[in-house]
Amino acid sequence: MIETHLAKLRARDTISVEEERVIRDSLGEVRSLPTQHTCIRAGERLHSSTLLLEGLMCRYKDLPGGDRQITELHVAGDFLDLHSFSLKQLDHNVMTLTPCRVVLVPHAKLKDITEQHPHLARVYWFLTALDAAIHREWELSLGRRSAIQRIAHLICELRVRLGLIGQADDDGFGLPLTQADLSDCTGLTPVHVNRTLRDLRERGLMDFRGRRVTITDLPGLQAIAEFDDSYLYLRREDR
């Protein structure tokens, strides 16, 4: 059930059999969620964190005028709100972008981990630091990259993150997002996303159609995005 989660952790550190058992013991209720469903709202008091088992979800913030910014995408194996353990409530919403399956991890169990399994606690602390690193890279995209770079960069990021859990290879991957979702990730309008996707296709770099990204020139795509995966911390370390 949590193989994708373990794959994500084990790409970055050593998780012992004992720790794996502790993780499995922390799991609570499993839920299935429909698509386009906001399952956590900013300001709600939370008592458990949510681990994504299957599907695609996002964190987003809305503006009074109706504009939306997605601040991070989540794939299987990600904690959507591990930070709610420290924060107690979130400053953003979390919603599904596809039908999803999730499992709840009570904050009480996480607290036990901080008291009895300090190494595992450090690994989980690392996961929240990794989310922050992704936020920083998105700040760079939103602040300083052009439209074509923003989209190319996002696709490069997703290729690596999905690759870790065996859901992407060099040729492409399934990506059940609309162009409007993509515009909310990149701070662009849906119309401009459409034109930019055509540009990427005409340049022979990638094609995004029918909920699938086909990468036709990976080095070229990475070059235009100026993509460097070091912000994803893919090396194994002793935390």
Partner DNA sequence: CGGACAGTTGACCTATTTCAAATGTGGTGG
Partner DNA sequence: CCACCACATTTGAAATAGGTCAACTGTCCG
Per CB under 8 A, residues contacting its own copies are 42-43, 59, 61, 63-64, 67-69, 71, 83, 85-88, 91-92, 111, 114-115, 118, 121-122, 125-126, 128-133, 135-140, 142-145, 186-187, 226, 230-231, 233, 237, 239
216 touching DNA, by CB under 7 A: no
Any idea which residue has 């169990």 for tokens? 109
28 near DNA, judged by CB under 7 A: no
Name the H helices within the chain.
3-10, 17-26, 84-87, 107-116, 118-144, 147-164, 179-186, 190-202, 218-225
Rg of the Cα atoms in the chain: 18
Residue 189 binds DNA, judged by CB under 7 A = yes
Taking residue 116's Cβ as centre, other Cβ atoms within 10 Å add up to: 10
Picked from its own copies, DNA, none, the partner binding residue 87 (CB below 5 to 8 A depending on kind) is its own copies
Among 146, 166, 204, 223, binds DNA (CB under 7 A): 146
Using CB under 7 A as the binding criterion, the count of chain residues that bind DNA stands at 19
| Residue-wise burial string across 192-225, b where 16 or more C-beta atoms lie within 10 A, e elsewhere | ebeebbeebeeeebbbbeeeebebeebebbbebb
CA 227 to centroid of chain Cα atoms: 17
53 or 193: CB nearest DNA: 193
Closer by beta carbon to DNA, 51 or else 97: 97
CB of 72 to its own copies, least distance (A): 8
Determine the Cα–Cα distance for residues 159 and 155; give it in Å rounded to an integer.
6
Of 10, 192, 203, 239, the residue at the interface with DNA (CB under 7 A) is 192
Near DNA by CB under 7 A, which window of 18-26, 87-95, 146-154, 223-231? 146-154
Long-range contacts of 14-21, Cβ-Cβ distance < 8 Å, separation of 24 or more: 14/236, 14/238, 15/120, 15/123, 19/117, 19/119, 19/120, 19/123
Please identify, among the stretches 3-11, 70-78, 80-88, 176-184, the one whose residues bind DNA according to the rule CB under 7 A: 176-184
Q: Closest separation between CB of residue 106 and DNA, Å? A: 34
Applying CB under 7 A, which residues contact DNA?
146-148, 178-180, 187-192, 194-198, 209-210
